[in-house]
Structure 1
Amino acid sequence: MLTSLACLPVTAVCFWMSYAEYKSLPIGTRIISVECIVTPKGFKTSYDTGVSITSSANNTQGVFGQCAVGLNRKLLLRNYEVKRNSTQPMKIDGIEVPNGHDISERLWGHHIYDDAYDKSVP
């Protein structure tokens, strides 16, 4: 599935709770299941209207999607990041595996196992 919604970090603890909630969990706590519902609302794409016109026009498109429940329990899935061609947007230049370790840095502002961060909090 080639969509930005396919790369939600639902397996990362930092996606579901704050750092304070994570640190207050008792030792031995485990997550049994989580549920994530994504509802796309629609989007607009801009495209050149012609050679003689230099401005762009917007095209409102409906959302067409699929529903999948529990795929991470049934299949071995892996997210990939797509490198697009800057001059030909529909052409894919390459695919690489994203670094999952920086998800907590993006959501919390620091790494999940950063012990120095706990000492810096007043």
Structure 2
Amino acid sequence: MPQVLIADESDIVRKVAKRILSGLNLDVLESTSANDAIVQSLSALPKYLIVDSKMDGATDVITQIRSMPGGSETHIFYCVVEADLKTLLSARRAGADDVLQKPFDRSVLLEKFQALQPAA
């Protein structure tokens, strides 16, 4: 079962995302800090990563994941409240694949993740 790691300081965001993504046959892991996300990824690199842009060290998580063996295979979503050009460029430079705008809802997450899932 593919793993998705949600790195966000907000308990509510992690809980909502976990509930939605668990329904897509994904093993959902949670992290409350950049350091914890990196440590978890060292032991088991996730197939997908959602990292909150407001979390201290968010771009560091992305660059660390990308530098790990197999890290280029992880699909990284940079979660933003406001999609300004500076934030988007920073995410792209760090290696993010896509952006999720917060607050997200069920339909947005399902659309993004179903598009990435191989056809059954």
The normalised TM-score by structure 1 is 0.25
The normalised TM-score by structure 2 is 0.25
Higher normalized contact order (CA 8 Å, seq sep 6+, divided by chain length): 2
Q: Per residue, is there more helix in 1 or in 2?
A: 2
